[in-house]
Amino acid sequence: MKRAARNRIDKEKQEALKNVETCYFYVDGACDNPWVGNGTNKGGWGVIVKYQGNESIVTGSEELTTNQRMEIAGITQCLPYLLSKGIKKIQIITDSMYVIYGIRGRKKWRKRKNVPNWDLWEPIFDAIEEYKDAEITAKWVKGHSGHVENERCNDLAESVVKESSKIGFK
């Protein structure tokens, strides 16, 4: 597609979404030993979704994982669902530059071979492709700096890791 046509489509999309309420999607991941990236950690993720005056909390865990996988996992589990419900404007807020690079650079990442954690990225990219009329943006916040929702997501993710020890993870 030529640049002028792409810019026109982008402007039309922005105009159509100008008065649409934004859904704020906060996400964070945690592992019991985040400095060891060999996939032997217990991990968890926490998501807070704020939309139309409502707040939803979703958490999850994996047994043998890495911190990077947990940063993505909450998005993999929740973004396709939100898009399928007709939400047209979603801002993902995270303290993970890995997530920011993935969301913003998804077109380039799709073309690459051997993208780490592709099993988690692919459903995200597929959902964004399927719902082209939606606007998905990503915003970075500094972790552990007092950002209320980021701190809450971190607490959720860490509590899932701690609880996972009590429900049979070894």
pLDDT (average), residues 105-125: 90
Q: Say what percent of the chain tops pLDDT 70.
A: 81
β-pair partners for 28: 46
* The CATH number of domain 19-164, selected from 3.60.20.10, 3.40.50.11720, 3.30.420.10, 3.40.50.300: 3.30.420.10
Q: Say what percent of the chain tops pLDDT 90.
A: 62
Q: Would you state the structure tokens that stand for residue 2, as one six-digit string?
A: 């030529």
Q: What angle do CA 102, 106, 109 make, to 5 degrees?
A: 90
Residue 168's pLDDT is what? 42
Asked if the model's pLDDT at residue 102 lies above 70, the reply is: yes
Question: What is the pLDDT confidence band of residue 139, given thresholds at 50, 70 and 90?
Answer: very high
Q: Where are the domains of the chain?
A: 19-164
Residue 6's pLDDT is what? 46
| CB of 38 closer than 8 Å to CB of 138 | no
**Crossing angle between the packed helical segments 97-104 and 118-130, to the nearest 10 degrees:** 40
Burial class of residue 19 in the structure, from the number of CB atoms within 10 Å of its CB (0-12 exposed, 13-18 middle, 19+ buried): exposed
Rg (CA), the chain: 17
pTM (2 decimals)? Answer: 0.83
